[in-house]
Amino acid sequence: MNYFYVMNGKKLKQAIFVIAALLFAAGIVYAERENISAFAGKDTGPKAIYSVPTDKKVIALTFDISWGDKRAEPILKILEEKGVKNATFFLSSPWTKSHLEIVKKIKDGGFEIGSHGHKHVNYSSLNDEEIRKQIQTADSTLTDAVGQKPNLIRMPNGDFDKRVLKIAKDLGYSVIQWDTDSLDWMNIGTDKIIDRVMKKAHPGDIVLMHASDSCKQTHEALPVIIDQLKAKGYEFVTVGELLKQSKAENKDVQDQAANLHIT
């Protein structure tokens, strides 16, 4: 009798422990859900732009550049050969300063130029003054190089929080993200890059690609992507032109971990 009492006591303790653990986990999930809801749903501040809702078959090809001098010019040549006159390049200021000749070719090609910030770090990890300094430093460099102040910015690694969005807006910038990530920055293979873009592309889409040297397959995938999008009836526009098509779809700020990438 005592034997069964001891066994039941042990089971009871185990059951209590399991229940307590489940309640603790549920509490965390509930708290996180409330935090996400409050951050995403109730916030009325500036938002990042991922795409534009439209029925028109328009799409914006975008290229981030933060280092190297081997990939940008081949990509520019492909765009010229394929008759794509509209695309948007997001340039980091250190790269801009050391590659003025390539910047001039991008400008002379009539392509839109946006900022990719200064240091390639996650701005959400910086204090407000540092965030402002990073954006302003890049602003000054790009304005001097291009002769025109940019008004679009894509944050390094696609990372931001509400503070970053507000400071960027105060400095006259719209923060541009993407709906379709080509994953060219992962060098997943030319065919996979093409397949990913073609499966995800949609009217009003912003497509993320790169022209940094670390991305070794973009220039191989790009001609096929352009041809296949054209075959589907898409017209290529800059991000600026895309925003004019309709009121931008401003998605609520959510966890950006899935968007982190290396350029």
Q: How many CB atoms lie within 10 A of CB 136?
A: 13
Amino acid at 198: M
Handedness of CA 107, 112, 118, 119 (dihedral sign): negative
The answer to whether the beta carbons of residues 90 and 212 sit under 8 Å apart is no
Check if 120 is active-site: no
Structure tokens at 20: 């307590």
Check if 202 is active-site: no
C-alpha to C-alpha distances, 77 to 133, 145, 191, 212, nearest whole angstrom: 34, 21, 21, 15
The answer to whether the beta carbons of residues 115 and 239 sit under 8 Å apart is no
Q: Which helix (H) or strand (E) holds 97?
A: helix 93-98
CA distance 226 to 198: 10
Handedness of CA 203, 206, 211, 215 (dihedral sign): negative
Catalytic option among 64, 179, 184, 205: 64
Handedness of CA 152, 156, 159, 164 (dihedral sign): negative
Query: Whose CA is closest to 41, among 255, 254, 258?
Result: 254
CA distance 78 to 223: 7
Catalytic option among 116, 118, 120, 210: 210
Catalytic site positions: 64, 210
